[in-house]
Structure 1
Amino acid sequence: LEDSATGRLLPQSFHCEIPGARLDQAKATAAILKDEVYKRMPWACGADGGPVLPVTTDPVEVLLNRTWRPTLSVVGADGFPELKNAGNVLRPYTAFKLSLRLPPLIDGNAAALELKALLEDNAPYNAKVTFTPDGRAGAYGATGWNTPDLAPWLSQALNDASEAHFGAPVGYVGQGGTIPLMSMLQKGFPKAQMMVCGVLGPKSNAHGPNEFLHVPYGKRLTAAVAQVMAAHP
């Protein structure tokens, strides 16, 4: 399933060819953000007193890894006793909750079924392994969304608004974590232009405990969105 040395997922069906336009956008955004794309994250303290490092420090690769390459994360575990109660005894079972993030062009339902077969078939030592996909949006796995090409007026309006309120050209960043609503909206309104933005990142904690937003950024983003809407032909 995974190369333990690099973290790369082995099933080729979990990967897709990165569209040329998305690669160009990642390069342009990396040129703006540079190493801040990973240095601004709250890394834990490492062995030498410095921060823990990401799997790559190439800003372009950091941006591509977060959206256009699959990633497997263990987000929960069960069957393990607390340290204060742990002893040298056999456990009756072990359970893990896995999060498989897929590129937007990969079918989530098909990938979930393949992952199920991969985990359950030919388990080592004749162990019994069961995997239950967490169904979302009427399927075993949610499929991502890749926005259509922007109309020239919108592309220009976004860049003008970014220059006016942030002092830099517009940058496009893929965001992990599927919101099925976007695919539904695109199917219902195939000719509509989509602008997806929000206040996320350092000094913002959305959709979680102690939720808060970076207010100065939020004000500038609101002004930028208003300018883009005013530019609609």
Structure 2
Amino acid sequence: MTILPEIKPQGPDTGPRHVAIIMDGNGRWAQARGRPRLYGHHAGARRVREIVSSCPEFGVEYLTIFAFSTENWKRTQTEVAGLMNLFRRYIMKEMQELLRNNVRVRFIGDRFRLDDKLRGLMDQAEDVTRECTGTNLTVALNYGGRDEVTRAAKRLARDVAEGHLGPEDVNEETLPKYLDTYVLPDPDLVIRTSGEARISNFLLWQSAYAEYEFIDTLWPDFTKDIFGDLLKGFDARDRRFGAVTA
């Protein structure tokens, strides 16, 4: 396992440092307009740019977006193929824009089911933006929380079997080092759009003490102003992490 250097904190001390978003509602947004579901996914991709570009203004250092889950393969072959093509086009189109805006890109999830061209573009985007020091954008692609923990447990078990780690060394500090997100701080705030009130297998380990916001807005209608209002609401929350406020 390769350990990357931890990213130094940037930005203000108040507000959420790391925001994760379950971008839901693209298909329903399109169908409400009499358009195919892929039309909504394209609209949702354009919305990503606005939210990413607003992060420095709001002091958000890390943004993680849920683009495609391990369960999304159950969708129709037409929709899955269209989404894969959209991901390839988005990465190619946005790579230089992200670089100009000093955005560092990472991908989490199991890449092996993705096609060679998409995996190559993902590697290229990570490499091109590696030295960027602004917003840290993480895209969860073919990602599932249970799948991530399972893969981490397998790597950890392999290290124990090979003698690199003792069974007594396995604890809450050890396991996260084997997760896809091992160089990222845990999310402070998780937002889900579209009115659904579930976490859908997203960042299960990392979000143990995250604050949640479930809102009715469909993702293509999720604006910078809505994002800003949710961040302001976060500042008013009392985060005790199991303790009692004096």
TM-score, normalised via structure 1 length: 0.25
Structure with higher helix content: 2
TM-score, normalised via structure 2 length: 0.24
Structure of greater relative contact order (alpha carbons < 8 Å, 6+ residues apart): 2
Larger radius of gyration: 1
Structure with higher strand content: 2
